[in-house]
Amino acid sequence: MSSGAATAAIIGWREWVALPTLGVQAIKAKIDTGARSSALHAFAVERFEQAGRPMVRFQAHPIQRNDDYIVTAEAALLEEREVRNSGGQAEIRPVIETLVQVGGSVWAIELTLTNRDEMGFRLLLGRQAVRRRYLVDPGRSYLQPLPVQTPLPMSTPKHYPRG
């Protein structure tokens, strides 16, 4: 076992997390080490430019089985990336960088945006998001405390450690 693994915290296969820069105070996430990238349920995705910079505006339903609560967010568009969905089909997805909070830790991750209406979880955290931070216990759930609403410093995700 590497020294990083010996000091890594343990998370369950599902955890409550926050996406503070997107205005999502709590969302149930599936921790999926079989998936390389992370994905957020998003719809009404609109690409636009702001000060010459590519951006994306989208809406999300962060609460499972509740389409009444909608969060609208904007983020810089990093790229469009080909990703294989759970059915093995390749699709082109917008990719953003945002902050994720698990328990008391906050760091920057890349998220692909896709419609996850038919999926059990609105957020999937892939192995790139949790590597070198957590060991995943696939037999346990909700091992980390609920995200605490803490004010974020005036900075961009690039100032935070990367996942």
pLDDT in tens, 13-68: 999 999 999 999 999 999 999 889 999 999 999 999 999 999 999 999 888 877 88
On whether residue 154 sits in a domain, the answer given is no
On whether residue 88 sits in a domain, the answer given is yes
Q: Beta-carbon neighbour count of residue 36 at 10 Å?
A: 12
* Number of separate domains in the chain: 1
Mean pLDDT of 92-115: 95
First and final C-alpha spacing in the chain: 20
DSSP letter, residue 133: T
3-state secondary structure of 131: coil
**Domain membership of residue 131 as a residue range:** 11-135
What is the residue type of 84? R
On whether residue 161 sits in a domain, the answer given is no
* CATH of residue 128: 2.40.70.10
Q: pTM of the full predicted structure? A: 0.84
On whether residue 57 sits in a domain, the answer given is yes
On whether residue 87 sits in a domain, the answer given is yes
pLDDT-derived band at 5 (thresholds 50, 70, 90) equals low
Mean pLDDT of 66-82: 92
Provide the pLDDT for residue 151.
52
On whether residue 95 sits in a domain, the answer given is yes
On whether residue 158 sits in a domain, the answer given is no
| Residue found under tokens 């609109």 | 46
| Weakest mean pLDDT among 87-101, 108-122, 131-145 | 108-122
On whether residue 159 sits in a domain, the answer given is no
